[in-house]
Amino acid sequence: MYAPIQTRKVFEQIATQIEQQILRGDLRTGDRLPTERELAEQFRASRTAVREAMKTLAQKGLVDLRPGRGTIVIDGTSSALRDSLNRSMQVSQHRSGGDLVEVREILEPEIAALAAVRANDADIAELRAAVETMDTHIADADAFITADNHFHQILANATNNNLILALIHPIMELLSKQRKQIFGVHGGPQRGQQHHKMLLDAVTRHDPDAARAAMRAHLRQVGADAAAALEHIDHLDSTDSTKHVAE
């Protein structure tokens, strides 16, 4: 009926204590852990046990072992999820763009509404600066997309909800790729800017209903432009195939 009692190894106990500190927020991403020697002294354990504990934490994506620089606390979950999502996009390239828009339609209207309630003056100033940057670089894809990414990241940050950030961060690279495609659609950046300005206005007025509606309208525009971009890519592929057959 019962499992035999097992004594846990020392390195497992060390790893568990450090993991609990990370999960509680006592240790945060970017924090540097004490040296192997210092940890051994604090835990009254061997340096071998500490070394094995660090390996265990690294395998869980909680720390990064950097020779010559020490052990750094990281958030490996987002990076692993991002890599998985990127592979999924590559496997089903044609459908994945629509999937991304659908996910955004589920998440971002409520993010915008929550941001409208919780955004402080600094958040609003950053949103305004991002919009001004996009206005200034309306013909510069890289600068515009960087500011576009930043705008949506600020909205997520303004929710003051760490779980929302954990959900949004892994898809940022996918969003950059999609925005790059949409930027090439005639009038795409200009249409996006109209919606960004409506979102900025709603958040500035702390109007969650207006922010939610503005984001839904923005995502409808994104979906239409993403479909147009995909149609253009299909046309180019078809033309290249026809040309290759003719040759």
Contacts of 31 (CB under 8 A, 6+ apart): 72, 73
Give the torsion sign (CA, 44, 61, 152, 203): negative
Is 78-242 the same fold as 10-74?
no
pLDDT tens for 208-245 read 999 999 999 999 999 999 888 877 555 544 555 455 44
> Residue 217's pLDDT is what?
97
Contacts of 67 (CB under 8 A, 6+ apart): none
* Domain ranges for the chain: 10-74, 78-242
Model confidence at 82, pLDDT cuts 50, 70, 90, reads low
**Which range (84-93, 167-176, 194-203) has the least confidence?**
84-93
pLDDT tens for 167-181 read 887 777 788 888 888
State in Å, rounded, how far the first CA of the chain is from the last one: 75
> Residue 218's pLDDT is what?
96
Q: Does pTM surpass 0.85?
A: no
In this structure, the number of other CB atoms found within 10 A of the CB of residue 81 comes to 15
Largest CA distance in the chain: 76
CA 235 to chain centroid: 31
- CATH fold label, 10-74: Arc Repressor Mutant, subunit A (1.10.10)
Give the pLDDT mean for 64-81. 71
Instruction: For residues 65 and 39, give the distance between their C-alpha atoms in angstroms, rounded to a whole number.
Output: 15
In this structure, the number of other CB atoms found within 10 A of the CB of residue 68 comes to 4
Closest CA to 213 of 225, 223, 203: 203
Enter the CATH code of domain 78-242: 1.20.120.530
pLDDT tens for 6-48 read 667 899 999 999 988 887 888 888 889 999 999 999 999 999 9
CB 193 within 8 A of CB 138: yes
Tell me how far CA of residue 4 lies from CA of 10, 124, 144, 174, in angstroms: 19, 58, 61, 48
Residue 92 has pLDDT above 70, yes or no: no
Tell me how far CA of residue 155 lies from CA of 36, 69, 168, 194, in angstroms: 40, 34, 11, 17
Give the pLDDT mean for 143-151. 91
> Residue 245's pLDDT is what?
45
Mean pLDDT of the chain: 83
Give the pLDDT mean for 109-134. 96
Find where tokens 């869980």 sit.
60
Model confidence at 124, pLDDT cuts 50, 70, 90, reads very high
